[in-house]
Every structure is written in C-alpha cells, then in structure tokens.
Structure 1
Amino acid sequence: MSTTTPETKSTDTTSLTQRSDASKFQLPQLLQARDGKMTRELLLSPGEHGLGMTPEPMAADTTTTATCGYCSTGCGLRLHVRDGEAVGLTPETNYPVNLGMACPKGWEALRILESDDRATSPMKRNPDGGFHAVSWDDALKEFTEKFKHTMDQHGAGSVAFLSTGQIPSEEMAFLGALAKFGMGFIHGDGNTRQCMATAVTAYKESFGFDAPPYTYDDYEQSDVMVFVGANPCIAHPIQWERVLRNPNNPEIIVIDPRRTETAMAASQHMQLTPKSDLALLYAITDQVIQRGYVDESYVAASTSGFDQLAEHVSRFSLDTVAASSGVSAEQIISVADSIGRGRAVSLWWTMGVNQSYEGTRVAQAIINLALITGNMGRPGTGANSITGQCNAMGSRLWSNTTNLIGHHDFASPEDRSKVAETLSIPVENIPADKGWAYDRIMEGIRRGEIKALWVIATNPAHSWINQGDARELLDQLDFLVVQDMYHSTETARHADLILPASGWGEKDGTFINSERRYGLLKKVRKAPGEALSDFNIFKAVAHYWGVGEMFAQWSDPEAVFSLMQSLSRDKWCDITGIDGYEQIDRCGGIQWPWSESAAADDVDPPQQRRLFEDGKFPYPDGRARLIVDEITPPPESPCDNYPTWLLTGRGTVSQWHTQTRTSKSPVLRKLYPIQPYIELHPTDAGDLDVVNGDQVRIQSRRGEAVANAMVVPTVSPGQSFMPMHYEATNQLTLSHFDPHSGQPSYKDCAVKITKIDSV
C-alpha cells in the first residue's frame, strides 16, 4: 500500500524497481573471488552501500508504506523518502492493522538505525579479549574453517544456530535451509522458543496445525473479551486501541496476578495466585458445563474428547479452587456466566500463559472454553494467541526449527521429498529429525556436546533464563559467532567473531503478524559501513562453504518468497494465490491462507479473514481436540529463605525486549525508568522499611540484583514484579520449562528482598 505525491506517482513502486534491478546481480558476480580475495565492491549487493550496481533512486518527496519491525501487531508505517533515503515516518492511515495509529517505538523506528554502536565491519577477538576489524573475506574464511573443523572433529551434532523472530521470513527460510540442508547442521532453534513455542504446541495439538484463528477486526466485534496473562494496553498498545474502538461496550475480563493497566480497564479482574491459572480455568470450564452453556451441536460436529474434558474438570470444585487461587467462588461463577451468555466471546492470551512450566495446557484450557461454547470462526470470537516479536509467525512457518520449512514434518518422507523437489536440493540433505530445541542446545554446551554456535539477531546473554549460567555456557564454547546490528550487545561481548548486519529499513522481505498477515519490509536506507543484510550474509556463507550452486535460485528475497509459495501449496498456510510483493503492497498486507483456488477470480483478498468458519479443523477427521491434563505444582514456591514471588513481564510501551534498539532512542529513553525497578505491595514495603525510590537487593538461588523500589498496590502482598527489559532481571530467574513446548517459565521464582541502607 504505497502512496505518493501527484508529481511522483510514477515512482509509486520504486522499492519494487530496486528489487528487480537487484535480482539481475547474480550470485557469481556478487561473490566471485578476485586473486583469492573477496573485494568489498563484489561482496556488497546492489545499492547496499552505493557500490556495485546502483539501483534507480527514489524520486524526491516520495512516500511508501512498510510494516513496523517491533512487535507482532504489524503496523503500517508511511515512510517519507527524499533522494532515495527515508528521512521520516508517520503512521499509515489506510493500513488495515493500525488505521493511522502508532506507538512510541514505531515513531522512533528510523532513529535507532543511527546509533553509534552499530556494527559496521566484521570483527575478530584478539588474544587479549578485545576486537579488531577484519575484511569480509577473512571473516567468512574464519567462519567456514572453524565450523568445518569442529564438525570434522566432533560430528555434525557439535554445532548449532540460534535464530530470531526479528528478521524477514525470506531470511529465516534461507538460514534454516542453508544451515540444515547445505552446511549439515543438525541442531538449530529460534528465540521464538522463548515467547511463542507454547502457543504453537497448543494450536498444533488442539487444531492439528499452528493456526491462530482470528483477525484484528474481532477486537471490535466481541461483546465479551477475556484476557489471560495478557496486558495489551502496554505490550500491544495498537491492538488495545482496536479494543477501545469496539462499539459493543464489551465486558472485559482479565485473569492476571497483577492489577495491570489492562486489568484497570476491565469489568472483572480475577487477581489469582501465581500459577493457579490452569486449575482456575478448569473450574470455569466446569461451571460453563454445569450451568448449561455448552454449544452441543458445535461440540458434536467439530470437536472430540468432550466426555473426557467434562469428567476431568468436574474434579475442580468451586471451594477448592477458590481457596488455592485466591479468587472467590462467586467470581468464578460470574465469569462462567459472562462467557456462557456472551453473543461473541473472544479469549486472548500472551506471555503470562506462554512463559509457564505448564503453559501449553493452560493455552489449551483457553482453547477448550472457546470450542465448547461455539466461539470459533465467527466475528468477535476465537481462542487467540497474541504473538510477541514482529516475525515470530514467520519463524514458526519458515525457519526450519519447530518444523520442516513451510510447516512440513521432518519425520515425513513425503514432506522431505516435496521440500527437496521444490528447492532442487538432494533429498538426502534433509534430516529426518528437527534437532534440539533451544534449552537442549544450551544443555548441550554444558555437556560439551555443542562446541560452536552461530547466533543471529538475538541476545541470549541477556534474555535466556538464569542469565549467569547462560553467560558461563557461552564462554565454554570453542567458537561463537554473533551476527547482529550492534557490536555492543551482551552476547556480542562473548563472541569470537562478529558479523555486522543491517536492520529494519535497510533490507527487503516480509513479516507475518499475529493475525497471519504478510506485510512488506522495505529498504529505504543504506546500512552503515560494511554491514550487510542477513540475506546477503547467508548468500556469502553459502559461497564460502561451497554450496553456492545449491542456493543459486535464492537470488533475492522476492525469489525466495516464490519458493515459499511453492512450499506452502496444499498446506493450511497456503499462499500460492498471492501475486508477489506488489499485491501485498497494494492490499495492505495479505493474511494466510490465500491459495490459487481462492484467487481464481483474480480478485484481491478481503482484508479481514478468520479461520475455521466452517467448523472444520486440520485433523483428518476435521475435529478439534479437547485436551486436559493433571495439575503440576510450581517447581519453586516461596519459602522461609525466599518468601516472595517474583513475576516478570513487559515494563512500558517504550521498552522492547533486551533494549538493544529502544535504548538507542533519546526520546524512548525519556519515557521509561533507566534503572531497574521492582514493584512491591505497600504492606511488604512497610515490613522492609522501604519507601519509593529506595534501593533494594533481590536474591534468588541463582544470583542477586539491585533495583529501585516502586511501592504500588498493583501487586498483591507476598508478590513482586520486575520488567524483563533490564539486564538484572534474568540474573534471578529459574531454568524450568514447559515439557511439551520447551518454553522457559520466566514468570515465577522465589526471591528474598532486603533494603540497602544508604551510606
């Protein structure tokens, strides 16, 4: 969806023209060696730094729309381009996601590209621990020699990669295919394991496919909305703005241990004891059944397992669950009545559910409620996982980590043959096992099984659970390569080799947002120094590894998008009907699925589409599964030595993840506390003789941190809260994981808090 001023209308598709020119610059030209040495000019892609073949520049005062690169909402940003480079941005008023709105992070998306700590050249560690710049030729030789030597000495299982949810789908596809089909890696995972693995597993088991069913229009169609472990007011503010546009004056129910900003706006807040959510949801489900709110015809036609579900939840009596959860029996009944009587009920969850040791079953308890009340496939309904990272959905479909590329199965000979034929890759190159998940890779380092690691656009030295242990493991590696926009990340400080990558606005591709919408990322600036797009780094690695010909057809992102379309054929995520990047641009994004048969009438897809409108699900029998399980106790509850629950989560609208980007913006830094803080209930603060602003020491069994006290009534007595963005937070968290998804449980551990007396 591009817009231009009248005098520059002919350049409306300039970004597509750039892409077309780039596709003529083929791999042999890009990477041919000259006197055994790669020159900078040959390595750089057309226009990447104004070297090589230069594409036709954008005309002055052009505007073009691209998808924001922060959260999974996928807002459209109108980029104002002058002389071929974006000089400013505003929210896109016609984009169907954000409708002219943007959060502070989106407004500052260009500013962060100008940071002084951008990685601008490859860097190699010195013997004394410092770094020095090296050429791309030297860096790629070092990369190839070290990884090949490790695999020769210790086997293919001795190396791994850790990817991300923050690069375009085409780059994810390239990385996964290159590492696993070309380089022979067995193990690789994405940092989406930290945020979305639970939702993926829950959907796969319940529906038969990882298929979030909703569209953002549902925010405006519901008359009852249930948010479980979700605070969209802060974490996804533009999605919350869609809630505020709802003309039905919806009843809003929030299930959360904290009185969050979203809970403050709710009709009902179930302020439960931490990690009692599964029992509470089972009690609500039992009341829905007992009080006659089951849509029996829908259950009979579209689900299986109802009798087992009903028997299981009948064991969760009101009095027992009220006592364990801290929520009254009357409120459990009230919420069951609201869900049962609602015309269009939508249930939403995010990290408060996903980042839990039993999160998969909690998510499925939410799905069960939607299914048994028939709240699926209609406007304003659904069991709806709100995604975290800008392209976590792309990682789920295309990264070759949670499943074989394109949502195929590594274990299926038919799927492996289809992928091999589509990609013109020998079928024997495709492993029959997806390899280890993130937590097992980290454990593999501990055991000496993983010797070399390639980290792309993620920051595990900050973000991985039990941070001190994670850093020790990174230092145990024989060889660590970090590929990132910035040389200053906590993980880059542990690297042996840093590869400088371009960021949002400096490359092309697609993101997929929470509602399954493919949106375009566009190159509107040059990357600094010698930084390359991740796509071109992967292309260079393929050449140096000796598998360049295998990936000859992976010439540019849009060519890879065409391969992705072929791979998606006949899957639930089928996108064979999309007419390339131009149609995605024109339509303001396109939700999957959009197959050739759907597009047979040569029409653009509707902007808002839901899944399961016909009550049919991806399982062979067309029925969704109702799944229940036993309750398991928290692995670490408060005790005499560590008497306080520590909860973690999103801090402010202006912070993002480990702050590698938001900390670069002077504007955003003014909108959140720079120093770590911890929220304490006034009763607990009084017992500690603590007032607002006092420094406190927080100790867990893993480590300790110092933070400023924030005395608030939004946490309950005996509980505390620290935002995940601060480096200190994961020095405290406990390494425990959901057994079904492998996702870390960040949201609960036991700590001791003491006041630090001023000198």
Structure 2
Amino acid sequence: MMKLPAMTLREWDGPLTADLVREPARFGLGQVPAHLLPDAATKAVCGFCSTGCGLKVHLKDGAAVNLTPDPDYPVNIGTACPKGWEALSVLDAPDRARMPLLHGKEVDWDTALKYFCDQMRAVLDKHGPEAAAFISTGQIMFEEMAFLGALTKFGLGMIHGDGNTRQCMATAVTAYKESFGFDAPPFTYADFEESDVLVFIGANPCIAHPIMWQRVLRNKRNPQIIVVDPRATETAMAATQHYAIKPKSDLALLYGIAHLIIRDGGVDTSFVEEHTTGFDEFEKFLADYHPARVSEETGISVHRLVHFAQTIIHGTLRVSFWWTMGVNQGHQATRTAQAIINLALMTGNIGKPGTGANSITGQCNAMGSRLFSNTTNLLGGHDFRNPRHREKVAAATGIPVQRIPDRPSLAYDQILKAADEGTVKALWFVATNPSHSWIDQNEINRILDKLDFIVVQDMYCSTETAKRAHLVLPAAGWGEKDGCFINSERRIGYSPKVRRAPGQALADFHIFRLIAHYWGCEDLFRAWSTPEAVFRVLQRCTEGQPCDISGIAGHEMVQKSSGVQWPLSKDDAAKFKATTWKERRLFEDGKFYTPDKRAKFVFEAPQAIPEQRSTEYPLVLITGRGTSAQWHTETRTGKSAVLAKMIPQELMLDLHPNDAAPLGIREGMPVRVISKRAELTAKARLTTCVRPGEVFLPMHDPRVNQLTHASFDPHSRQPSYKHSAVRVEK
C-alpha cells in the first residue's frame, strides 16, 4: 500500500469538501489556510509566461470559480492577457492525466512508483550514473524544480539533467555570466515607462509579452521605439523606427552601431573607464565594421544605420535595450546578446532608471530554473566544480557533500546525443513536451524511440511526448498546488492552491516526495517536507550570493509584499518596505559581480549561418509566436474554447507576394512547405510583413519543428529556431 507522509490541508490533493475546509482537524489535517475559507478570494501569480502577472482568484466553498487581474500588483496593474483570463478553464480539460499510466493502462500509484524505481535503478545499476537523466521545466514552482534536481542528483545518483528552459533563456544566462560575473538581469518593469529610447531586438512583446507592452504604452516621455526584426511584427508596426535586417545579421548590425557610436563621440568614457574592462580591444575590433560593410551584410542603408546610432548616443537620454527569442535562438546567440550588453555599457545605460541590457525571459519560472533547477548550476547559482560551493550547499541542505556531483550536467542537446549514442538509456520529462517543441522534431522522436525507459510527468496524458512514454505520472497544474515563481524582473511571486487536482493526480512536489520514499532516500530530504520548507533551504543556499534571498520572511512576506525582487539579504531586509521597494534594479552603484567588480566587453567575429539558402531551398523559414492567445505547444491553451476563437483555425504560412506570384500561389491557397528534413501543408497568407525570400510559421503547430534545422550556439547550447532553408510549392 502507498503511504502518504503527513500533510496539511494546503497540501491535500483529495476531495475538498465544505466540512473538510471548515473542520480540517476532524480529518487529521493541519489548519486551513485563509485563502481556502468559503466565499473568499486570494491572490496568485499567473503560471503562463515570464511576465508574472498578479491575479485575484475568487473562491466559493474553498474552490476557485473565477479570476480577475489584480489592480494592486506592480507587474500588471490590473491588466491580463487572454491566457491569464483563461488560466482556470484549461484545468477542466477531458484529457487531464488522472491516474498513472503504465504502457497506456491505468495503474495505482503504488504500482507506478515501484515500477519507476525498479526500472530507473536497473538502468543506473547496470550502466552507471550517466545512463539516466531528467529534463525539467520552467512551468513548475521553483521549490518543486529544486526538489527534482536535488532528488535526482543527491538521492537517485544521476549526473545529468537539464530543462526545457534551455530553449528560451540559456543564451541570456551565459551572456550575463561572462559579461557581469553572474546571471543577473538588471532591470525592473518600471524601465519600460522611464526610457526615452527603447530598443527591441528579436522581440515582439505586443504578442509574446502583451502586459509588458502595456507598460511601454504607459510611458509618458514620448519615447523613440526602435525594433530590430526581419519581420514587420505587431511591435515593429507600433515602433517609431523598424530595421528589417536580413535574418541572423543582428550581430553585424550591433557591431556596426557600436562602430558609429565611437565614431560620433557617443561613448560614456567615464563610465567605461571606471566600471568596465576590455573596451580598448573592443574598439580595435570594431574598426572593420564600417557602415558600408554593415549595410551590405544587414540590408540596412548607411543613412538609416547612422540614424539608428544617433538616436541612442545623446548623453541626456535614457536608453534601454531589450531582447528575447529572436536573439537567444540563434547559432551565435551568446555573442549577439553580449553585443547588446556592450552597447549599454559603452553608453553608460545601465543601473539607472529607464536603462539596461534587458533579457525578457519566456516561461513563468524560467528565472527560477536559472537559480534552482540544479542542472548546469548547483543550487543558488553555485558551481558544481567548486569544492567550497559544494560544501556550502551541503551545509545549507543537510545533504552529505559526497553525494553532490563535482561536475555540471550535459546540456539538453548533449543529453539527446548521448541517448542516440546509447550512453543515456532512460529519460524523465517533467511538464515538458519535447516531441513537439524540440528542434528537428523527427530526429528527437527517433532518439526517444531508442530509449529503454521514458517517464513523462504532466498534467495531460495526450501530449506528443506522453504518447511515447512507458510510464505517465499524473501531475497537478497551476492553481492545484502552491509555491513560488520568479519572473523576468527577478520578482519572486507566490501562487496558492485554490482547487484540487482531478482523479489521483498529485502536485509534482508530492510525487518527488513519494519517489524519495519508494527509492529509500527519504531521510536525505526529511527537512524538505513542504514547498515553504524547501524555500527556507534555498534561502540558505543563496546566502552571500548575488541572488541572496535570505532576508525574505517566507511565503507570507512574498504574498503581502506583492512579490519580492532578488536580491534581498538579511541586511537589506531591515530596511525593506514593500511600498517603496516595489521595483528595484541592479548595478546602481556601478559594481558588477566579477572579481574586479567591472563589467566585461565580450565580442567575436560573426560566423556563417549553418544552413544557407540554395537553389533547391531558396527561402528562409523564421518561426515564432503566433498570437497572444497561444502558448508554446498549446498543451494548456489549446484546451480553452475562448482562446480557440482568437487563433487561426488552420496553419498559416506568411509569404511575400513577390515570392508567391512566380509560383502561382494566391491568398488562402494550400501550399507545401518543404525542408531537407520534412514537409507540411499550410494555407498561404500573402503579406509584406515578411520580406521577399523569407517565410514565417508560428511555432505552436505540432508539425512546424519537423522543418527546423538543428544548430546550436556553442556557448549556451541553445537551439537556433530562426533560420532554416525551405521551399514552397502549390
């Protein structure tokens, strides 16, 4: 029989009756949380994207019945995108995973957990600690992802595990670490409103982060809005300047702008001399990036290049630079992100209101993954290879230091390569759907079919990856469990449990506790009894780090303060006032996290695009967000009837009329899109939003990543989804 550890009502996954809510002691449970009282309301942070909006969840008899945007939350200030409004409805989908599935048949938890342990232990015992790996996610609470990373590496004895956040933000992490000394996005959302010039590079916040765009629209400084993007996106249409560069020529463009800033006297020399290193070498490197060369490589005229540079070099202006997947998902993405950072540094646009080199994250808890997933970083932004870091984390967690690996995991693509080569035999996927989302989809599915053991832990049993699994573990979703997320501006936000999960689905946290129990390593995690208990453990791990959160007085403080941005050390906590510290930025003192406290200029010559256009494949395929009503593989958003009315009912290919005419393609005509790897059928949408020679497909359709070419940034190991060669036929 399965034995559940003692629980409080907050953790209870059974039926939530009125009697149980009012008299939990009768059922052997702890005190009822205030947010579960009948006919009440509570506050939560949205569980979709990295914006981290505040929502008011309205309750009746202790269960959520409706929600509205929170007017007092400093992120969204009473607004929400379509996904947020529909966050509850998608929990009622008929394809929710309600029972464990073993080879497609329902089994009880006892059978499922014994099978998990038997199969995983057999793989590790026979082939060693590198033979099994996990793929985590930016969709679960950071207390849960920390538990997963600790359980697998400290308890089960695995070496390797990465996250689907590798697809969205690994580039920004790598760039910040090398340039600033730590993964430290410096901004706060107030900077959207306080800039004189906002530069968006490979970012379309109108669609991808609409609430952030609302913050831009609140800007009363009459700002210049510059967009660098091959497509005329919704954000580009609203901009004052749009630079429709050739796909993946952004690195050359940024070097060309830096060249012009130096030429025209726009460098903040005092900031550069006092707070940076490497500028002299960077200046010499830039000598070759004269306007004529950059114009040829980017397709932007010399006159417009000069206008771009002139817009941002006036010393009295506040300039903020923003980027997201259009930069991060590239074959030379890390150096491109650092070219943006270089522009902010050389003009002194950092650490002040309305400035910054600002990476916008993708998933709701991708920032939590960066600090606490225990994958390529040890908990709290530490280094597996550093003995002092291992000893510190051991002391903070109570885990014997000899159980902590002395090397980081392989990256996602390297784990898959090892699986293809036969080194990795088992994979455990948690709240992610790589059979849809991973680049060159047919290749990953071929590799998955070779594995001895696949486990999928998800809310839904119908995902493309779950259908390939030997074992499916049914998980609770957002609103059915409690814990914290960290959004793009480093704000830790709390989300409570406001309803029970269907069937026998359990919170990921409790699944991990049960696996520890069945594996026989539960004594290692005796202190990891609740999400808040893990929060306390993680506070100790961050002490003294740039991301120090030791001054946060638990979940209650996070709730009452409308979220808390890291860092907040014990020393800072004494002067913390939620009303005046709602939004804080980094580097106001000009000191960075490098040994010499100086930011570093990092640069490298542009490299050729891995897959070039050819006579057979003459078009460049760009992929990206489709609408604000869609989210990633649509595992959740696809369940909403309301959201379904806001998206095209068929896959649409954006094609320029000049490319369509010679092919005899008319508006709405079915077309074939063909790459070296696969083909699909879509409907043609003739538009000048794409340039001649380029086409666009939304990434949400399950077929699109059959076409994409698998190339990876060598530093971040992030896939490049933004440049594949294709042809189009009637």
Counterpart of 2:653 in 1: which secondary structure? strand
Matched, 1:112 2:90: yes
Judging changes above 3 Å, is the alpha-carbon distance between structure 1 residues 648 and 513 closer, same or farther for their aligned structure 2 residues?
A: same
16, 29, 32: which one pairs with 1:56? 32
Which residue pairs with 1:306 in the alignment? 279
437, 462, 465: which one pairs with 1:488? 462
714, 720, 724: which one pairs with 2:699? 724
Which residue pairs with 1:18 in the alignment? none
Structure 2 Cα separation of the partners of residues 477 and 238 of structure 1:
41
**How far does residue 499 in structure 1 lie from its aligned partner after superposition?**
0.1
The CA deviation string for residues 661-705 of structure 1, in whole angstroms up to 9 with x for no partner, is 000000001100132211000111112211221111111111111
Judging changes above 3 Å, is the alpha-carbon distance between structure 1 residues 114 and 53 closer, same or farther for their aligned structure 2 residues?
A: farther
Structure 1 Cα separation of the partners of residues 523 and 614 of structure 2:
60
Look up the equivalent residue of 1:103 and give its one-letter code.
Answer: C
Look up the equivalent residue of 2:12 and give its one-letter code.
Answer: G
Matched, 1:190 2:163: yes
Judging changes above 3 Å, is the alpha-carbon distance between structure 1 residues 625 and 138 closer, same or farther for their aligned structure 2 residues?
A: same
Pairwise mapping of residues 62-77 of structure 1 onto structure 2 (< 5 A)? 62-77=40-55
58, 69, 79: which one pairs with 1:80? 58
Look up the equivalent residue of 1:117 and give its one-letter code.
Answer: D
Structure 1 Cα separation of the partners of residues 121 and 676 of structure 2:
39
Structure 2 Cα separation of the partners of residues 40 and 687 of structure 1:
67
Structure 2 Cα separation of the partners of residues 532 and 215 of structure 1:
35
Look up the equivalent residue of 2:32 and give its one-letter code.
Answer: E
Q: Given that residues 646 and 720 in structure 1 are in contact (C-alpha distance below 8 angstroms), is that contact kept between their aligned partners in structure 2? A: yes
Across the aligned residues of Structure 1 and Structure 2, the Cα RMSD in angstroms comes to: 1.3
257, 268, 276: which one pairs with 2:249? 276
Which residue pairs with 1:749 in the alignment? 724
Q: Given that residues 39 and 62 in structure 2 are in contact (C-alpha distance below 8 angstroms), is that contact kept between their aligned partners in structure 1? A: no
Counterpart of 1:454 in 2: which secondary structure? strand
Counterpart of 2:130 in 1: which secondary structure? helix
Structure 2 Cα separation of the partners of residues 429 and 377 of structure 1:
40
| TM-score normalised per structure 1 | 0.93
Pairwise mapping of residues 468-483 of structure 1 onto structure 2 (< 5 A)? 468-483=442-457
Counterpart of 2:586 in 1: which secondary structure? coil
The CA deviation string for residues 452-483 of structure 1, in whole angstroms up to 9 with x for no partner, is 11000000000000001111111110000000
Segments of structure 2 that go 5 or more residues without pairing to the other structure are 17-26
| TM-score normalised per structure 2 | 0.96
**How far does residue 61 in structure 1 lie from its aligned partner after superposition?**
2.4
Matched, 1:391 2:356: no
The CA deviation string for residues 170-214 of structure 1, in whole angstroms up to 9 with x for no partner, is 001100000011110000000000000000000000000000000
Structure 2 Cα separation of the partners of residues 620 and 477 of structure 1:
44
The CA deviation string for residues 380-401 of structure 1, in whole angstroms up to 9 with x for no partner, is 0000000000000000000011
Q: Given that residues 231 and 262 in structure 1 are in contact (C-alpha distance below 8 angstroms), is that contact kept between their aligned partners in structure 2? A: yes
Structure 1 Cα separation of the partners of residues 181 and 560 of structure 2:
32
Q: Given that residues 143 and 484 in structure 2 are in contact (C-alpha distance below 8 angstroms), is that contact kept between their aligned partners in structure 1? A: yes
**How far does residue 402 in structure 1 lie from its aligned partner after superposition?**
2.6
**How far does residue 601 in structure 1 lie from its aligned partner after superposition?**
3.9
Structure 2 Cα separation of the partners of residues 360 and 676 of structure 1:
31
**How far does residue 600 in structure 1 lie from its aligned partner after superposition?**
2.1
**How far does residue 44 in structure 1 lie from its aligned partner after superposition?**
11
Counterpart of 2:253 in 1: which secondary structure? helix
Look up the equivalent residue of 1:56 and give its one-letter code.
Answer: V
Q: How many matched pairs?
A: 714
Counterpart of 2:381 in 1: which secondary structure? coil
Structure 1 Cα separation of the partners of residues 672 and 169 of structure 2:
31
Matched, 1:642 2:598: no
Look up the equivalent residue of 2:160 and give its one-letter code.
Answer: H
**How far does residue 41 in structure 1 lie from its aligned partner after superposition?**
9.9
Structure 1 Cα separation of the partners of residues 663 and 502 of structure 2:
50
Q: Given that residues 220 and 242 in structure 1 are in contact (C-alpha distance below 8 angstroms), is that contact kept between their aligned partners in structure 2? A: yes
Q: Given that residues 486 and 493 in structure 2 are in contact (C-alpha distance below 8 angstroms), is that contact kept between their aligned partners in structure 1? A: yes
Structure 1 Cα separation of the partners of residues 75 and 567 of structure 2:
17
88, 110, 113: which one pairs with 1:140? 113
Which residue pairs with 1:158 in the alignment? 131
Structure 1 Cα separation of the partners of residues 663 and 628 of structure 2:
30
403, 426, 431: which one pairs with 1:457? 431
**How far does residue 56 in structure 1 lie from its aligned partner after superposition?**
2.7
Which residue pairs with 2:401 in the alignment? 427
Counterpart of 1:157 in 2: which secondary structure? coil
533, 541, 545: which one pairs with 2:519? 545
Matched, 1:170 2:170: no
Judging changes above 3 Å, is the alpha-carbon distance between structure 1 residues 445 and 433 closer, same or farther for their aligned structure 2 residues?
A: same
Structure 2 Cα separation of the partners of residues 602 and 292 of structure 1:
40
Which residue pairs with 2:628 in the alignment? 653
Q: Given that residues 644 and 752 in structure 1 are in contact (C-alpha distance below 8 angstroms), is that contact kept between their aligned partners in structure 2? A: yes
Pairwise mapping of residues 636-715 of structure 1 onto structure 2 (< 5 A)? 636-715=611-690
Which residue pairs with 1:338 in the alignment? 311
Matched, 1:210 2:186: no
Look up the equivalent residue of 1:135 and give its one-letter code.
Answer: D
Matched, 1:583 2:548: no
**How far does residue 272 in structure 1 lie from its aligned partner after superposition?**
0.4
Structure 2 Cα separation of the partners of residues 603 and 39 of structure 1:
44
Structure 2 Cα separation of the partners of residues 166 and 733 of structure 1:
24
**How far does residue 579 in structure 1 lie from its aligned partner after superposition?**
1.1
Q: Given that residues 344 and 379 in structure 1 are in contact (C-alpha distance below 8 angstroms), is that contact kept between their aligned partners in structure 2? A: yes
Structure 1 Cα separation of the partners of residues 378 and 64 of structure 2:
37
The CA deviation string for residues 423-451 of structure 1, in whole angstroms up to 9 with x for no partner, is 11110100011121100011011101110
Q: Given that residues 402 and 434 in structure 1 are in contact (C-alpha distance below 8 angstroms), is that contact kept between their aligned partners in structure 2? A: yes
Structure 2 Cα separation of the partners of residues 660 and 360 of structure 1:
29
**How far does residue 580 in structure 1 lie from its aligned partner after superposition?**
1.0
Q: Given that residues 678 and 707 in structure 2 are in contact (C-alpha distance below 8 angstroms), is that contact kept between their aligned partners in structure 1? A: yes
Structure 2 Cα separation of the partners of residues 726 and 44 of structure 1:
41
Which residue pairs with 1:600 in the alignment? 574
Look up the equivalent residue of 2:517 and give its one-letter code.
Answer: H
250, 258, 262: which one pairs with 2:223? 250
Structure 1 Cα separation of the partners of residues 475 and 533 of structure 2:
21
Q: Given that residues 516 and 591 in structure 1 are in contact (C-alpha distance below 8 angstroms), is that contact kept between their aligned partners in structure 2? A: yes
Segments of structure 1 that go 5 or more residues without pairing to the other structure are 1-36, 126-130
The CA deviation string for residues 362-420 of structure 1, in whole angstroms up to 9 with x for no partner, is 00000000000000000000000000000000000000113101100000000000001
235, 255, 274: which one pairs with 1:262? 235
Q: Given that residues 47 and 53 in structure 1 are in contact (C-alpha distance below 8 angstroms), is that contact kept between their aligned partners in structure 2? A: no
Judging changes above 3 Å, is the alpha-carbon distance between structure 1 residues 721 and 671 closer, same or farther for their aligned structure 2 residues?
A: same
Counterpart of 1:109 in 2: which secondary structure? coil
Structure 2 Cα separation of the partners of residues 282 and 490 of structure 1:
41
Look up the equivalent residue of 2:72 and give its one-letter code.
Answer: N
Which residue pairs with 2:2 in the alignment? 38
Structure 1 Cα separation of the partners of residues 562 and 583 of structure 2:
11
Which residue pairs with 2:378 in the alignment? 404
Structure 1 Cα separation of the partners of residues 573 and 557 of structure 2:
12
Structure 1 Cα separation of the partners of residues 524 and 132 of structure 2:
21
Structure 2 Cα separation of the partners of residues 315 and 53 of structure 1:
73
Judging changes above 3 Å, is the alpha-carbon distance between structure 1 residues 503 and 230 closer, same or farther for their aligned structure 2 residues?
A: same
Q: Given that residues 91 and 102 in structure 1 are in contact (C-alpha distance below 8 angstroms), is that contact kept between their aligned partners in structure 2? A: yes
Matched, 1:102 2:80: yes
